Chain A
């Protein structure tokens, strides 16, 4: 199956710093990538949808200036958490689709962010 790689798998940072998380499709071209966050014992919440070469579409309530998403190539999307605060601590997961006829999504391994 198609592989999506996410990096880093975990990161600890100080309050006020920015953190970048990368999401790569290793063996297919990802026309669309999605970013989710997950709080403990809760389901995934979609944050934004990004299409290669265009601005991301953010879900209601998600601050676009806080969570910068870049999808500059068909194999890479990045999520930058700017001026991170402890409440940004969460598990972030990306997924990608290559426009397969099935509409199937492939997920990265997730990145756990802890902001001190």
Chain B
């Protein structure tokens, strides 16, 4: 059964710093991996989707990488801003379902 782990559980950084969020998964037979953002009390916003055949995706200040063989993905946020404060979730999909990590709660201090 697929297990998804996110480290750290919480992260606090000053504004302007570059940061990396980590996601690991136990079964490398995935279809794709998605990174989401969740603001308190809100639904999920999809940030980046990486297909199993891809190594990375970029959108603005965000860059997500995927190393399927080692079961890892990272989300890199450049020049962090207070508006980036949220919980970031990664989720992996296989043929059957989608599994979420517990998330990393990010706080960017002005």
Contacts and interface: CB of A to CB of B under 8 A. Distances in A.
Interface of A: 1, 6, 34, 42-44, 46, 49, 91, 93, 95, 102-110, 112
A10 to B, nearest CB: 8
A43 B103 contact: yes
B108 interface: no
B79 interface: no
Interface of B: 31-32, 34, 36, 41-46, 49, 51, 89, 91, 93, 97-98, 100-103
Chain B interface secondary structure, helix, strand, loop or mixed? strand
A109 B42 contact: yes
A106 B46 contact: yes
Given A109-B42, A112-B41, A49 B32 contact: no
Contacts, number: 49
Given A49-B97, A102-B51, A6 B89 contact: no
Given A93-B44, A103-B32, A109-B42, A46 B97 contact: yes
For the complex of A and B, the 4 pairs showing the least CB-CB separation, nearest first, are A110-B43, A109-B43, A107-B44, A43-B100
Contacts of A106: 46
B49 A44 contact: no
A43 B91 CA distance: 10
Contact of A105 (B41, B98, B103): B98
Contacts of A91: 41
A104 B42 contact: no
A44 B51 contact: no
Nearest to B45: A107
A105 B49 CA distance: 10
Given A34-B98, A107-B45, 9 more contacts: A6-B43, A44-B44, A44-B91, A46-B98, A91-B41, A108-B43, A109-B42, A110-B41, A110-B43
